[in-house]
Structure 1
Amino acid sequence: MTTVPARERGLYHGWKVVIALFLAGMMVYGCGLYSFTLFITPLTAEFGWSRAATSGLVSAFWLAAPLTLAGDPIIRRFGGFRMIAAGVVIASLTLIAIGTCKSLIMLYALRLVMGVGKVLMACGVSILAAQWFSRSYGMAIATCYAGWHFGGLTMVPLTQMLIDHVGWRTTAMILGGAISAVTLPLLWLWTRVPSPAERGEIPEIGGRLPLSVDTPRAGAAPALGTVMAQPIVWWSMGVTMLGAVAYGAIITNEAALVDELAALRGLGHGLGAGAVSLTAVTALIGALVFGWAADRFPPLLLSTVDLLLMIAGAMGFVLVARGGGPLVIDLSAIAFGLAVGGFEPVVVPHMKKCLPQQWFGHAYGTWYLGYLGVLFAAPIALGWLHDVTGSYLTALECALVPVLLAFVPAVLAARVKALV
């Protein structure tokens, strides 16, 4: 009988990989999404563009969604380090270039290219973490996702300060340079080894592999129809695509929404950045809590809690649009942030548990394609409704409807044993 070797002293290398991935997400997502939402107000003021156009600049980040289908083949061919590092460099260079732009079309093009960088980073993070963790994958991937929201917590106040002092253009260039400077050193140091097998280690144990143990080999990815036929995949697609309408619409417009209402009521400057920062810190907490819970509780229960938090946050912002004050803004940002943080950790770990290892990358890419498609369309729709009606109230009320409909696949999933 083969005995499992004792753990080597020191931190398991997989957690070093997670630290590097945490930093990658912190910079690419923190600067590329959270910080970029603060550019909406100065862009509107400088160019006189509509709110739909400027909101579209934020959501154009997701136009690279079809690339998610190639995530698994890319990482098989080039490895996680090259894939994630390429995404980081692309995001860095395009954000620097955005600081020089004066054309709406060019800004959209650069945001699309920046989205390519984000997709490469995000797909690489999820698949690479899956190669290092099995039993604790929920906590590991949640820690990686927490980095995205930690980026919002740390980069949003810095971004607002820079915009106030040096303008949005110089701010974009500074943030672009910071993405590569902060991220690449630890990626190079800790993620070049693609899996525990390459180090001769057992996942999550850290001991040396016995000579009699064969290292697993990646199998061929299944056909798309085979992937979509799995209950965990259609449940994931249904819940996240409907729930992501409010997620995408609000996260993109949160700063502009709060600043607009604050200006109308004379509540002062900077409340929008404060609300985004509060959303980011609670999203970080939500990611860690839901990631911990994903290793212990069924996905149907967790998705129900997450959707209820999303509804509470969206309804809170409706109350803000109807006249709610700073306390309502803060409570709405907290509920919304917890829901945002839990979105991926609720779904992705259970997808990994319910599918064969060689299927996970393909299934994740398929799910992420639909998810990003909604995140692209929802902010533009909300911005257009704002331009048509003159306020965010109708748009926020419309965003609530799909979240309520997300309970339909959740109820249908109650019949699937793996989800309850």
Structure 2
Amino acid sequence: MTSNHGTNGAERDGTHIASPLSDENIEKQPLDVRLETPSRTESDDSPGERDDKAGITVFTLGTEERKGDAMSFAPPPYVIPDGGYGWVIVYAVFMITFICVGLPSAWGVYQRQFYYEQYFPGATNFQLAFIGSVGAGCQMLFGSAGGRVSDKIGPRNTALLGTVFMTTGLVLASFATQVWHLYLTYGIITGIGAGFAWVPSAAVTPSWFLKRRGTAVGIAAAGGGFGGMALGPMGQALLDHLGWQWALRVTGFVTFAVLASSALLLRLPPGAVVRPRGPFLDWKMFSSGTFLRLLAMGFLIAWPYFLPFHFISEYAFDQGYSKEIGAMLTALMNATAGVGRILTGLLSDKVGHLNMVMVSFAVPAFSILVLWTLTGTSLPMMIVFSVAFGAFSGGFIVLLPVSAAFAFGTQGLGTTLGMLQLGWVSGFMAGSPTAGAIIDAYTTTDNDGNILRVNFIPAMMFGGAMYVGGLFFATWERVVASKGKVWIKV
């Protein structure tokens, strides 16, 4: 069978690669090989042959037909297990994602408590939302560096380095006396740690799977949803019983235990030796239309992604419900996000990853623009919105590693994902604060400064519009990949 992905120079003899390359061959042939010639084929989802008896995927090198505008790459010179220890990797990445993505999703509990209890007198919604956003932005910014570092020293060492930063940031945040202290500790230091721990680990899973790549990545990414579900109520309980300072310290201790134990399990498949070549940024990637469209999707989804997670609790409280109800809605949204990411991965293997990318933009856009605006004071409608948005909100997070692996290969995937996630930085840093500023602008107060009414609808419109923009680029990429065909798996 001829591979539908790129070939490697003169090696066009159709020889099966059924074992890892020797060290001598690795020295002669870098693993991260990208050709300058644009390429896309019709069956990117099936780049190798499946040996059902052995339970592995074997690649065949051969000539290819060059089409479209995705970068061509060499098939990985190692056996893809499609299981085995790969499921241990899925567990490890699930737990790392549980902390690194779940913790920012649960920031809304702390934000509401800080705002209404005025632990930091005079702090506005904009200022408090910016703390969580600085953390999320630093996670993406330093995740790019973490991906490159991982390609040099390995994902295990990089994730352990991130563990130290993240734990230190949370513990130091508990000693904050001013809002800017939280920017530095909870925002920057914790964000750096999350970037070094999460992005490199997320790049490991696709290298262990091919046929079940979407399923494996979906299960691993579900950790973020379940993490937000668990860490939100845990944070509220700690705030109620221990106060905000010890709540942060206990969270820091839990973070260290989970991340350190999971990072020690990380490793690449046998034969997948990390030997990165080239500069920190691979500028040739910017000549790929697929890369630019994935970059644009990430940029647009980053602005509204945390908005419902950060504000649904405050919205419920403003409508007269208790803080426990607000925490429940945040937990429900995160729980359905966890389940939704697993289903997104499963469905992407069945119907195609680009088809599911479109769904992952369309449903959240509808949820924000229609369901949330119709919610009013209705708790059942808040629940419907939380389930609908949560189930599909993390779809693109699941599908970005899958799409990048199919388009550009698994070798050097940490660097590739890091470059793509640079597009998330501005949105993750400014998205929720921008929404907070919009909410503050439409909040009415009396002459004494007491809040009379908070209007969330303009901020909802802002978030929904960003998802619609992402849907445009997702549709564009699918049209290019499918050559305009509608009812096909792509």
For the superposition of Structure 1 and Structure 2, which TM-score range results when normalised by the shorter chain?
Answer: 0.7 to 0.9
Per-residue CA distance 1:361-405 (angstroms, 9 max, x = gap):
332111111123212111010000111111222111222222222
Partners of 1:372 and 1:387 lie apart in 2 by: 23
Higher deviation after alignment, 281-290 or 220-229 = 220-229
Q: Is the 8 A contact 1:299 1:347 kept in 2?
A: no
Give aligned pairs, total: 392
- Post-superposition offset of 1:359: 4.8
Q: More deviation in 131-140 or 286-295?
A: 131-140
Q: Give the C-alpha shift of residue 181 in structure 1.
A: 1.8
Whether the aligned pair in 1 keeps the contact of 2:110 and 2:235 (CA below 8 Å) is no
Residue 269 (structure 2) pairs with residue 196 (structure 1): yes
Higher RCO structure, 1 or 2 (CA under 8 Å, sep 6+): 1
- 2:283 and 2:204 map into 1 onto residues whose CA distance is 24
1:131 maps to 2:131: no
CA shift for structure 1 position 34: 2.7
Conservation of the 8 A alpha-carbon contact between 1:285 and 1:341: no
2:289 aligns to what? 231
- What amino acid does structure 2 have at the position aligned with 1:95? L
Query: Is 1:281 aligned to residue 335 of structure 2?
Result: yes
Q: Could you tell which deviates more after superposition, 398-407 or 94-103?
A: 398-407
1:302-331, CA deviations, whole angstroms, 9 ceiling, x for partnerless residues? 1221122101321322223xx241011001
Aligned with residue 161 of structure 1, among 220, 224, 237: 237
Structure-2 change in CA distance of 1:112 and 1:330 (3 Å): same
Distance 1:414-1:139 versus aligned 2 partners, 3 A rule: closer
Paired AA for residue 93 in structure 2: L
**Equivalent position of 1:246 in the other structure:** 304
User: Any conservation in 1 of the 2:168–2:189 contact (CA below 8 Å)?
Assistant: no
Q: 1:289 and 1:178, CA in 2 relative to 1: closer, same or farther beyond 3 A? A: same
Show the counterpart of 2:467: 403
8 Å contact from structure 2 (residues 223, 338) kept in 1:
yes
Which of residues 108, 111, 124 is equivalent to 1:40? Answer: 111
Is the Cα–Cα contact under 8 Å of residues 126 and 434 in structure 2 kept in the other structure? yes
Alpha-carbon displacement from aligned partner over 1:168-202 (angstroms, at most 9, x marks no partner):
211111111111123323432x22xx22215xxxx
* CA gap 1:253/1:269 in 2 versus in 1, 3 angstroms: closer
Q: 1:418 to 1:231 in 2, by over 3 A?
A: farther
Corresponding letter in the other structure for 2:284: T
- Aligned equivalent of 1:317, options 350, 372, 379: 372
Between Structure 1 and Structure 2, the one with more strand by share is 2
Equivalent of 1:146 in 215, 218, 222:
222
Distance 1:324 1:260 in 2: 9
Whether 1:103 and 2:174 are equivalent positions in the alignment is no
Per the TM alignment, residue 219 of structure 1 is displaced from its structure 2 partner at its CA by: 5.3
Is 1:17 aligned with 2:72? no
Q: Is the 8 A contact 1:250 1:379 kept in 2?
A: no
For residues 385 and 428 of structure 2, the distance between their equivalents in structure 1, rounded to whole angstroms, comes to: 20
Asked if the contact 1:318–1:396 (Cα under 8 Å) also holds between the matched residues in 2, the reply is: yes
Partner-residue secondary structure (3-state), 1:296? helix
Alignment partners' CA distance in 1, 2:358 and 2:269: 35
Query: Taking structure 1 as reference, are residues 313 and 244 closer, same or farther at Cα in structure 2, changes over 3 Å only?
Result: farther
Q: CA RMSD in A?
A: 2.4
More displaced, 280-289 or 56-65? 56-65
The 8 Å contact of residues 162 and 168 in structure 1, kept in 2 or not, is answered as yes
Give the CA deviation at 1:50: 0.5
* Equivalent-residue separation in structure 1 for 2:408 and 2:220 (angstroms): 21
The residue number in structure 1 matching 2:80 is: none
For residues 354 and 50 of structure 1, what CA distance do their matches in structure 2 show? 43
TM-superposed deviation, 1:217: 6.5
Structure 1 residues 376-385 or 17-26, which shifts more? 17-26
8 Å Cα contact 2:366-2:464 kept in structure 1: no
For the 8 Å contact 1:282–1:341, the answer to whether it is kept is no
TM-score normalized with structure 2 length: 0.75
User: 2:96 touches 2:262 (CA, 8 Å); kept in 1?
Assistant: no
2:143 aligned residue: 68
**Per the alignment, in what secondary structure is the counterpart of residue 119 of structure 2?**
helix
Residue 85, structure 1, aligned to residue 160, structure 2:
yes
Q: 1:128 to 1:359 in 2, by over 3 A?
A: closer
Q: State how far apart, in whole Å, the 1-side matches of 2:177 and 2:365 are.
A: 38
CA contact (8 A) 2:297 2:470 kept: yes
- Distance in structure 2 (CA, Å) of the matches to 1:305 and 1:77: 36
Q: Which has the higher helix share?
A: 1
Find the residue that maps to 1:416 and give its secondary structure.
helix
Find the structure with the greater CA-based Rg.
2
Determine if the alignment matches structure 1 residue 220 to structure 2 residue 277: yes
Identity of aligned residues (%): 19
Residues in 2 aligned to 1:164 and 1:270: alpha-carbon distance in whole angstroms: 11
Distance 1:68 1:179, change over 3 A: closer
Q: Give unpaired runs (5+ residues) of structure 1.
A: 199-214
- Paired position in structure 2 for 1:206: none
Long gaps (5+) in structure 2 = 1-14, 19-50, 57-82, 444-454, 484-489
Q: CA deviation digits over 1:137-159, x for unaligned, max 9?
A: 22222222111111112222222
1:122, 1:403 → 2: CA distance?
24
Aligned pair in 2 of structure 1 residues 300, 73: CA closer, same or farther (>3 Å)?
Answer: closer
Residues 91-132 of structure 1, C-alpha deviation per residue, up to 9 Å, x if partnerless? 122111111111111110111111001111121112222332
Residues 129 and 433 in structure 2, CA contact (< 8 A), matched pair in contact too: yes
